[in-house]
Amino acid sequence: MLFLAGALLATTSTIAQTIVDFEDLTLPQADTFYTGEDMTGQFVSGDVIFENSYETTSWGYSWGGFAYSNMTDDQTPGFDNQYSAFAGSGADNSENYAIYYNSDTLIFPGIGAAIGDVMITNTTYAGISMRDGDQFAKQFGSPNGADGQPDGTYGEDYFYVTLYGWDQQDNLIDSSEIYLADFRFADNNQDYILKDWTQFNLSALDGSKYLTFRFYSSDVGSFGINTPLYFAMDNLEYSEYVNAIDEEEKEILTVYPNPANQTIQITGSIDDYVILSNLGQIVLKGSINQGKIDISSLPKGLYFVTNRERTITEKLIIR
């Protein structure tokens, strides 16, 4: 593993650090959220892809992966408040932040990334569930489960998420644990459930192309973990790895705004653009010198912006 990491660093360089703060994403109004209801399977912030899934059901919908939110409700318990950060806002009192639930992947641009710090807290739903207990999950620190019977933990409860970093070839680079609650201290005054935004360092995952996530909890029942499988994320720092040999000759293509719904502009070291559907069909083409490009006739979804020779490609999400 160290040899692979050394080989990677020897042939790559990094470009300027990016802080993914989700403020480049828009929501229709205060106290709203986006869960992937447009069925694109992802959203993009700071050039990082946050995957999700969304499915309509007979009772409404189900979702998983990443959502983004500006919800501020840090008081209401229960599943109906699953999109609020327990801190009541984004990190540093910002508006937007991400919510992670149960599954899916975070993908860095380029060939991977040098990863810095990230801000993490609980969601209100998970935090209050651990603090007070509910119909399905226990109160942390109690020797009893949600059914009122001893659960064998003696109140030494914990809840954490492990982040796994993977390279382009799907090799595991390393992992980092982020504790969202820990009641195992000899001094009970040190027991905690994350309420405020807390900074964690992810440099052990340097070189990762993508991250996956897995939850662990002391509160486990016959159907798996009882603790609500959520956390909130903000201010993810990373620097993109690029091939050092190719960087001077690298073609540049920028699409903005992205996501978009009416017009876009394309800039870069190319003359002509081609927009492809997610099935590879050409839906628009022209010169990047034409200024704003009208995309209002295109259906919502995922597209790819490329040049005539297909040597460089950027994703475009139309909402």
pLDDT, position 236: 98
pLDDT, position 271: 81
Q: Which whole number is the average pLDDT over 290-316? A: 85
Q: Say if residues 91 and 235 touch (Cβ distance below 8 Å).
A: yes
Residues 52 and 186 in one domain: yes
Residues 42-90: pLDDT tens digits?
Answer: 999 999 999 999 999 888 899 999 999 999 999 999 999 999 999 999 9
Of the candidates 24, 246, 12, 211, the one whose C-alpha atom is nearest the C-alpha of residue 108 is: 211
Q: Between 280 and 69, where is the model more confident?
A: 69
Q: Is residue 11 predicted with pLDDT exceeding 80?
A: no
pLDDT, position 24: 94
Residues 79 and 181 in one domain: yes
Which region among 66-75, 202-211, 297-306 has the lowest average model confidence (pLDDT)?
A: 297-306
Q: What is the pTM of this model?
A: 0.75
pLDDT, position 250: 55
Residues 153 and 189 in one domain: yes
- Alpha-carbon gap, residue 204 to 208, rounded angstroms: 10
Residues 207 and 294 in one domain: no
- The CATH number that applies at residue 111 is 2.60.120.1350
Residues 56 and 90 in one domain: yes
- The CATH number that applies at residue 291 is 2.60.40
Residues 120 and 206 in one domain: yes
Count of domains forming the chain? 2
pLDDT, position 248: 44
Q: Is residue 221 predicted with pLDDT exceeding 70?
A: yes
Residues 58 and 202 in one domain: yes
Structural domain boundaries, residue 290: 251-318
Domain end point (choices 178, 208, 243): 243
Q: Which whole number is the average pLDDT over 194-221? A: 97
Q: Is residue 113 predicted with pLDDT exceeding 80?
A: yes
Residues 175 and 279 in one domain: no
Residues 125 and 207 in one domain: yes
Q: Is residue 251 predicted with pLDDT exceeding 70?
A: no
Q: Cβ of 118: how many Cβ atoms within 10 Å? A: 23
**Alpha helix segments (H runs only) across the chain:** 2-11, 124-132
Read off the pLDDT band of 244 (50, 70, 90): low
SS3 138: coil
Domain end point (choices 243, 262, 284): 243
Read off the pLDDT band of 287 (50, 70, 90): confident
SS3 79: helix
Whole-angstrom CA distances from 195 to 30, 68, 124, 239, 276 are 21, 18, 8, 28, 44
Backbone phi, psi, residue 95, to 5°: -85, -55
Domain end point (choices 209, 243, 277): 243
Read off the pLDDT band of 243 (50, 70, 90): low
Q: Which whole number is the average pLDDT over 234-255? A: 74
Residues 216 and 304 in one domain: no
Residues 72 and 202 in one domain: yes
Q: Which whole number is the average pLDDT over 98-107? A: 94
**Strand ranges, E, within 140-184:** 158-166, 172-182
In sequence order, the 6+-apart residues with CB closer than 8 A to the CB of 306 are 253, 273, 274, 275, 276, 312, 313, 314
Residues 168 and 202 in one domain: yes
Query: Six-digit token pair at 263?
Result: 């017009």
